[in-house]
Amino acid sequence: MSIKTKRKPGPGLYLMPMAAALPIVAVVALAVSRIWPTLHKLLSIMIKLVVKA
Amino acid sequence: MKTTGKCVSSPERGFAWVLTFLLTAFLSAALLSLLAVQGLTSAGMHLAAATGNGVADSQQAKIYEQVDRLAEDCGFSPEGVKAAIRREDLLEMNRKAAAWWTKLCTEGIVDTIPRWNAAELEKAVEAGMNGETRTEDAGKIAAELAEKIERVVFPLRESLLSRGMSFARNKADVEGMIRDIRRLPALGAALSLLAAGLIALLLGRDFFSSLKYYGTAAAGTGLTILATGIIFFSLHPGAMIEQASAALGREFGTLAGQITLLGGGVTLFLLAAGYFCLILYRKKANNNTKATEQPV
């Protein structure tokens, strides 16, 4: 007779860092995709103003 | 029947996973802000970017082109003038430009931009005149050349920057904002320590279980930094600067390379440490499970 007190951790354990990182990366990607077009225009104008050709 | 140390109950495990996620978020925020703050305020990085490989050489080549053009227009021999524009002097001016950037980014002060010594250029122009040009014009030509050199090394509109900064200073506490931004990595680190401490408190003496959570957070942070770096560089921020000024774009490239190196090192360390913890945990947990599966 064998008794299991704890479940054996499988190779899926190595995917846990990806699961932890995914929501953060998703938020960063979403924020960048929303902000970047406006930020790009704003930065381009600022750089053109400040930098001599 | 053998049991293996303290068994953590299910709600505690769930709370530990929530803390692991928070630890990943705080650690990622701390390290990403550290990289950004280093890039913006590190005097060493600014200096390395301004005096990096090929920066002075490409500036010298561009200045020589302009000397040739001016020599053709004004009638003087360009060789002596080129000899007066030494690489060491250009590097010195780049060092001053780096100090200017550091002062702007760390104190919010727009200093006067570094100037090129026109007196030596004037002598060189005078010596190279072929009789068609009046010697009185040498001063004007030297001044124009000095301005061109300054523009190549430091292609910024100082007056506009100065006005913009004084406007910003009137509207907000710029120094305080810079100070707060520089404190962001420390704040992230403190929150990370708090989350790590709470995980340790929750698991008590179950050290090997905590390896699973810490390993996940460390490797997760490494992956987050890696993904954020890929997102950042896929936006081609250097191309915008390069369009306005090739020299400034090159310096930004050197700075970005240094931050990538630092970020890459941190990412590799976190991934290695995180997966090492996970491997260690799995090995130990498997051994423990085998021990408890012995026939009674």
pLDDT in tens, B204-244: 877 888 999 999 999 999 999 999 999 999 999 888 888 88
Tell me if B7 and A5 make a contact (CB, 8 A cut-off).
yes
On whether the CB atoms of residues B67 and B81 are closer than 8 A, the answer is: yes
Instruction: Concatenate the DSSP letters of all residues of A8-53 into one string.
Output: PP-GGGGGHHHHHHHHHHHHHHHHHHHHHHHHHHHHHHHHHHHB--
Helices B207-234 and B246-292: crossing angle in degrees, nearest 10, is 160
pLDDT in tens, B24-57: 999 999 999 999 999 999 999 999 988 877 888 8
| Strand extents, DSSP E, chain B | none
Distances in whole angstroms, Cα of residue A2 to Cα of each of A42, B240, B293 = 67, 66, 5
A-B contacts at Cβ under 8 angstroms:
120
Distance from A47 to chain B by nearest Cα, in Å?
A: 7
* Nearest chain B residue to A52, by CA: B155
Assign B283 to helix, strand or coil.
Answer: helix
Q: Do B275 and A8 touch (CB under 8 A)?
A: no
Residues forming a β-bridge with A51: B156
The more confident residue out of B278 and B133 is: B278
pLDDT of B6 higher than 60: no
pLDDT for position B32 = 96
ipTM of predicted complex: 0.86
**Could you say which of B4, B224, B293 has the minimum Cβ distance to residue A24?**
B224
Query: The tokens of B278 are what?
Result: 């996970």
* Best of B8, B18, B22, B24 to mutate (most A CBs within 10 Å, chain A): B24
Chain A positions touching B287 (Cβ under 8 A) are none
Stretch B270-280: mean pLDDT: 96
pTM: 0.85
Q: Taking the CB of residue B2, how many other CB atoms lie within 10 A of it? A: 11
Closest CA to B220 of A11, A16, A9, A10: A16
Helical pair B10-41 and B207-234, crossing angle rounded to 10 deg = 40
Nearest CA-CA distance, residue B274 and chain A, Å: 8
**What is the rounded average pLDDT of the residues B73-86?**
87
| Mean pLDDT lowest among B17-31, B127-141, B276-290 | B127-141
Instruction: Tell me which residue of B23, B262, B279, B220 sits closest to A11, measured CA to CA.
Output: B279
Q: Which residues in chain A are contacts of B275 at CB distance < 8 A? A: 14, 17
Rounded to 5°, the CA angle B12-B18-B21 comes to 140
Query: Which of A3, A29, A52 has its CB closest to that of B296?
Result: A3
Residue B3, pLDDT score: 43
Using an 8 Å Cβ cutoff, are B292 and A5 in contact?
yes
| For testing contact with chain B, the best of A24, A41, A49 (most B CBs within 10 A) | A24
Among the ranges given (B85-94, B124-133, B143-152, B259-268), the one the predictor scored with the smallest mean pLDDT? B124-133
Which residue shows structure tokens 């954020």? B228
